[in-house]
Each structure stands twice: as C-alpha cells, then as structure tokens.
Chains A and B, each alone.
Chain A
Amino acid sequence: MNQAVISDFFRQIIDQPVNNLVDQAQEQGKKAIAYTCSYVPQPLLSLDGVFPIRVRAPGVVGTPMADTYLSSVICSYTRSVLELALEWAFDSLDGWVFAASCDHLRRLYDNLDYLNKPAFNHMIDMPHRGGAAAEKWLTEEYKSLGAALAESFGVDASPQALSRSIEEHNAYLSVMREISEMRKQDNPPVTGAMFQTLLAASTSAPKDMVMDELKALLARLREGKEGKPYRARVLLAGSHCDDPGYIDVIEKTGGLVVAERTCTGSIPALAPIPENGAPYETLAERALANISCPRMMESFQARVDEILEAVEEYRADGVVLQTMKFCDTWGVESSPMVQELRKAGVPILKLEREYTMSSEGQLQTRIQAFLESMGK
C-alpha cells in the first residue's frame, strides 16, 4: 500500500478544522452542518442541500479561552472545539447539531450558543436506553431535526428524501466496509492509522467529493499488495479518537490496529442501514442499538460482549482501551470493563489520553511493554 496516495488527498482534508472541499460545496450553494457525536445521523444531515461535517479540532495547542468558559475539568475534545470556535475557525459553517449525549457535549452546546450564537443550533434529546418508547421518542427527535432543517435551509426532509439519502450513505458505507474487511487479513494492506485517516476525512468533507477517491483507493487495495509486518494485532476501544496520529504511535511500536470500537471508528459505524423500512424510524432504531458509548446506561455487558466478538472476528491479540480524560462514563466504566476482559483472557492495556496527541514517548513505552507482556 502506498501511504502517499492516502496522504495527498485525505490528509489535506483532516489537517484543517474546515477544509477546502467544504468551501467548494458551500460555493455550490450547499449548507455545511457541524456535528460532534455519532448519535447525530449522517443521512439526515445529508439531505439534498446540506451536508454533515463531523467537527474535529486539528492543530489546537492549548485551550486557554475555552477553559475560561468550560473550565479545565471538561474533556479536551469539547474544549478544543470551543477554542477553535472562539477563534472563529468554524464561522463559515452554516449550523450545528448536537446530541444530548454527555455532560460535556451538552455544555459545549450551551457555551457555543452563548458565545458564538450560531444561526442554527439544534439539540437532539437522546434517550439513554433502547426499547419501543425510546425508539418512538428518538424518531420524533429526528423528525423534529428534519423539520428544522427544512425550515432553515429549505431542504426536502420527507421520508422519501431521507430514504434516498440513506441509500447514498449506504454506498459510502459499502466502500468503507470493504476496506475495513481487508483488515481481517493476515497481513492487511491498510493500517489502522490509514483507515482512521479515511474515516476522519470522509466525515469531515462532503461525501460526494471524496467518493471517487475512496473508490479509486479501494480498487488499488483490491490489487492485493500486502502490508508491512507487525508484532501484534490490536483492537482499539474506548472514547472518541479521531486522530490518526494516536493510532500511528501504536503502529510505529509494532501493534497493528485492526479495528476501532469507538464512536469515531469502524465498529459499529460501518454497518449498513436497512433501506426497506420507514427511514426516520430506522435511523432511531439503529442509533439506539449502537451501545458503543457508555452513556447507554443499560448496556455494560453488551459492550463487553461486543468487544469480545470484535476481538474474535478481527483476530486481535489484545485490546487498547483508551479513555479521554475527564470523561466520566468511560472513566468509571473502564475499570469493570478491564476486569471483564481480563476474566475472558483478553490482554488489555488501559490508557487515559487527551484529545490532542501528547507524550508520544510515554505512549510508545506503554505500548511496547504491552506487546511484550503478550509475548510479541
């Protein structure tokens, strides 16, 4: 695999908070809608006339202004996003959609609303459990978002339009899934850092502008060149992690990240969306079935089981469980999760991290020791 092929196009996209492709799409009359959480459904923000941008904060080196408002005990992803927002880095975006997922994102919404006053700032009231009542509730929430998009941006938010959007999104998922499936091979042609670059880039830009490149990349990958040797196969689990650089450090040390069970990773995001049902209901059902975030309060054991399944499916030798500092849900849950995974005989390394890559040497030492502890 020629890493430069990925870098040239996709790295440029992820190097900036708002990339050139967003500007180009806006020049064509489309509206860019920012979102910060995987419970905001991409197909709904991909209705004709709008497109979703999963907000990242590349290049942030400190968060002094954001700390003044959010304090320094809030997760550094939210602080980094607010810092860039206060530097007007997201000023060109046309709106924001949040999900009431956790304390941190709720307060980011409040502070952003107070400080930047986005013209469109919508909050999805996200249940903390599944079941029929929650599905009905969330369906109404998604319909309400559809109506708000229609009113503010003139988009067609009808079920038919949403079904079309889901079909298009499935086409994207299909390409990404095929690339992801290659990571199950003995010597995958794509590394974890490369795959994270693709994921981050394709959620940070209008999908229609990256699809050709993704398809071309897939065609090259199908040619079957093998990747570099590695010492151990690693499953990455835990918090939001949209930085390929973090995965790159793991891989430079000899661990190959074969899948990410995170809200920004491959599992469960790449699963296809059913196309034969009522689209709003389908999106709600799918979102509530996604229990990868511990904010889904009834699903601890299911999260453990899904990690164990992924370990088996991707033949991972061990799990790196990384949690964002100050995230209470992951912070509290990671302790029993480590116990459960160890009980199941899975080697696990728990790491606490900040959003921005730091202490690379320390991370390398921890990974090195972990690989050695597995006899790799």
Chain B
Amino acid sequence: MRLQDLKKADASWKDKAVYARYRVESIGSLARLLRHGPGKMREIFSWDWLRTLAGASNLLDMAVYTRTGRYREASAYALAEVIGGIGDLIDSICASPDRVIIHEDLVPSEIFRGMGLAPFMAEVIGIAVPLVKADWAEKYIDIAENEGTPPDTCSLPKCTMGVALDGQFPKSAAIVTSNMPCDGGMASYTILERELKSPCFRLDIPYNFYNDRAIDYFVSELKRMIAWLEEHTPGRMDWDRLKEVCIERNKAMEHELEIWELIRQKPAPMAGEAIWLAQLIHMVATPGSPRATRTMKNILRRTKKIMENGGGALPEERYRAVLWNPPTLVFPELFVWAEQQYGVALLADMLTYHRHPFIDVSSPDSMLRSLAQIIVEGPMARHTRGPAENFFDDLFYLYEYFSLDMIWMAGHIGCKNTMALNGMFRERCREREIPLFIMNYDLSDTRVVSPVDMKKQAEAFMETVMQAEPLL
C-alpha cells in the first residue's frame, strides 16, 4: 500500500501553495549539488542510491496528501528539511573529498565536524533511500547475501554491505565504527573495511554505562579516536569549532525538549514525521548542524501555532501511540494511514527518544564527557544492546509521559536483540494492561512482509484489540 489507498485531503489554495513551495525547496536542496561541476556529478550520479534519492521530493506527497492547514505545513516543512539535511551530507562530501569519514550511526559525528572532517553516516543510505522507493534496498541485500552474508542478519547492515560491495560509497580518508548497535551492525564493518580499503577505527562502548567508570572508559576511547584521526586523516581537532557544534546541538535539543513537552497535551499539537523523521535525521544523523537547530526551532514554532489556534495536529485525535524499534522504512506512510483511518497520533519513537544531557562546553574534557554520555546512552545502544531494563523502563516511562493509549512495536525480524525481548514484552504489557501491537516486518525488505500485510496487521489490532471504528 502506498498513497493510492489514502484519502486525498480537501486542500485549499493555501494548502496547495504550501505543497508547491516545499516541493520546490526539496528539489532545490538536491539540485545545489550541481555546483560541484560535471565531473563530480558524473561520479556521484553513478551511484544508484543517489539517483533514487534525487526523487526524494516525492516524500512530500506523504506529508500533504491527507493533511491540511498548519499540520500539512509543518509536515511538509519537516520533510523538506530532512531532504535538505541529506543534501547537506552529500554536499559536504563533494566539497571536501579528501576529508570524508564514513562512520557508523552510533559514533559522535560532532567530533568529526570539530576536526574539520566531512562525516558521512554509512547507514543513512539504507535508511533514507527505501523511504523514497520501498523495494530499493532489496538488490543490495541480495548482493550481500550472494557474497555469503546470512539471510537472517539485519537487512540494514546487509543493505549497507551490499552498497559497499557494489562500489557505491564515496572514497574516504577513514572509517570510524563501534561495537554498536548489534552484532550484525558491528560485524558489517569487517566487510566495509575490506571493500572501501580505508583505515578503520573501532570504538568500544561498555554494556553497563550508567556510571562514571563507563563514561571515563568511553572518554578515553574518544581521545584515542581523535589521536588516530589526526594521524590518519587531514583532520585536526579545533576545540573552538567543536564547541560551536556542541552549542548548536544544545540549541536544537532545547527546542526538541520543548516540543516533547508540548505534545504531551491532548490533543497533541504535533505528530507524525515532524516528530520522528525530523529528529532521526537532524538529531541522530546530522547533530550539531545549523540546519538541525533551525528545523527544531521551526517545528516548535509551528507546534505552538497549532496550540494557539486550539485543537491538535490531527483533525480528530482518537488514540496516542509510540512506535518502538526502528521505524518502518519501507512503509513510512504507515502512520499517515493510521492517522486517517483511526485517528492515531504518533508522538514518539525509539530512535528519537533519548535522555541526553546538554553538552557542557566549558572545556574540551567536559565536551568529550557529554558526547560520551550521549553515545553510550543513545537510542539503540540503550535499548537494543544494553540490559533489558533499559528497553522497558524507557518505554513504560514514555507511556505515562505522553499519556499513550497503546504501544506499536515494529517487530523487525532481523533485530535479534528486540525479538528476544518480545516474550517478556507481552507479559509486562499485559501486567500493566497496556495494549501492545507487535507488527511483523523487515526494516528494509518488503519481500519478507509487504506494506499491505503490515497494514492488515495494524487493522486487525485496531479493530479487535482497540475495538476502533474506522474513521473513513
């Protein structure tokens, strides 16, 4: 299922203008890559993933199709900034080809920026491109499997490995990865290191991290990484520049926390992609960028506007939900559909919810200490790898904090860490009388569970467990 199953909004001329504006902006944020000249364009557009991503402005349809007014505007804006953020990443690797650092998703990319390097999160390809074309990753999953990777390994690292095996990564000065977020993700860098032929640094993150000893250990890992990067790349640590990045991150986080506070209200004045996707890209993939701050600030402003006008983001908010585990990359319309069909407002998800501290910028050591805490306590690190209590405590806290009606668990078949918690999860939810929907799916592979089947599972849950009447 994609947009054809959704009811088109009864859009005013103003709504149509909003759509047109952000569609143009989205196209523009990728078109600016043309400034790097025909040679560079030939190189980067030889990558299939980038050619597919060039159609990212179609994502705007998802945000606007069923929405009107300020919520349509906020959603369209958030998606345009998501596309812009990905454009920034590509732009910076084009601008500084000798300073590219390919990195895994759970390492502090702020430090790379502080060192004047151009970070590129390897997994962003497998995250972003299936949002645009649901079955895109399958070719690359097959490449990885044909090379010997087991079919049961998580499809995101498999996709990343497949892209590397197919020669579609930019040349890099170095690779930085860690033992996160899972065994499959960690092991995939053995393949990336061999294929990209770049020196590789690996950060070691402890299993139990809610103590000073773990933070001390990880700070020493970060210092080791900085020294290694100075030896192997043109990057040099500029603590003032890192401070600027950290201040920027703090500003974005202030806005983010305020948004969370506001959406506690019933009905919630913001929901959907403006919450989960915007934060995933701006706070996880590109933290500390001016665009991240601007995006969070503007989403906050729009959230307040919706509040001032009374009512919530959705025309009729009947249910409030959190999406736990990695989001449904191959079916990002899931919550657009759930909004329209049952009045479900998605208020949080596992990858964007965090308990990060503000970065203490008073000294280099204090910055490293805060960044260390952000990484070791990051989403995924905390939930999918650490002790089970981390997973459950956060979720049940969120349930109360946002006054939720149910939990949607994206039961990604390749995530062994969370699959192995589902038995406990069911029982603990039952004890608390929390309706739990565990949806079977695969993060990046529609051949495992199709979007139509995902929707059917959601329908079955909503109509049997929640006794929900469809709105349409």
With known contacts A106-B385, A332-B184, A74–B419 Cβ distance under 8 A: yes
Contact A73 B152 (CB under 8 A): yes
Tell me which residues from 401 to 432 in chain B have a Cβ below 8 Å from any Cβ of chain A: 413-414, 416-417, 419-424
Contact B207 A326 (CB under 8 A): no
With known contacts A106-B385, A298-B202, A111–B424 Cβ distance under 8 A: yes
Which of A110, A123, A140, A352 has the most chain B CB within a 10 Å cutoff? Answer: A110
The interface residues of chain A, by DSSP majority, are classed as helix
Interface size class of A (residues with CB under 8 A): 35 or more
Residue B88, interface by CB 8 Å: no
- Find A137's partner among B148, B149, B217, B422 (CB 8 Å cutoff): B217
Q: Could you tell me the distance between the alpha carbons of A74 and B184 in the complex, rounded to whole angstroms?
A: 13
- Name the residue of chain A whose CB is nearest to the CB of B177: A297
Q: Which residues of A contact B388 (CB under 8 A)?
A: 107, 110-111, 113-114
Residue B466, interface by CB 8 Å: no
With known contacts A106-B385, A335-B148, A69–B190 Cβ distance under 8 A: no
B226 CB to nearest A CB, Å: 15
Interface size class of B (residues with CB under 8 A): 35 or more
Q: Could you give, for residues 172-202 of chain B, a 1 whenever the CB lies within 8 Å of some chain A CB and a 0 otherwise?
A: 0000000100111011111100100000001
Contact B207 A331 (CB under 8 A): no
Q: Could you tell me the distance between the alpha carbons of A114 and B154 in the complex, rounded to whole angstroms?
A: 26
Q: Which residues of B contact A125 (CB under 8 A)?
A: 206-208
- Name the residue of chain B whose CB is nearest to the CB of A323: B150
- Find A133's partner among B150, B189, B221, B416 (CB 8 Å cutoff): B221
Residue A244, interface by CB 8 Å: no
- Find A334's partner among B148, B213, B387, B413 (CB 8 Å cutoff): B148
Contact A69 B423 (CB under 8 A): yes
Contact B420 A107 (CB under 8 A): yes
Tell me which residues from 252 to 267 in chain B have a Cβ below 8 Å from any Cβ of chain A: none
A284 CB to nearest B CB, Å: 14
Residue B10, interface by CB 8 Å: no
B215 CB to nearest A CB, Å: 12
Q: Which residues of B contact A71 (CB under 8 A)?
A: 416, 419-420, 422-423
Interface residues of A (CB under 8 A from B): 68-71, 73-74, 100, 102-104, 106-107, 110-111, 113-114, 123, 125-129, 133-134, 137, 140, 294-295, 297-298, 300, 325-329, 331-336, 338, 350, 352
Q: A73-B419, A104-B416 are in contact. List 4 more A-B contacts (CB 8 A).
A: A73-B413, A106-B385, A133-B224, A335-B149
Q: List, sorted by A's number, 29 A–B pairs whose CB atoms are closer than 8 Å.
A: A69-B422, A69-B423, A70-B419, A70-B420, A73-B152, A104-B416, A104-B420, A106-B387, A107-B416, A114-B424, A123-B207, A123-B387, A125-B206, A128-B186, A133-B217, A133-B221, A137-B217, A297-B202, A300-B190, A326-B150, A327-B183, A328-B150, A328-B187, A329-B183, A332-B149, A332-B188, A332-B190, A334-B148, A352-B150
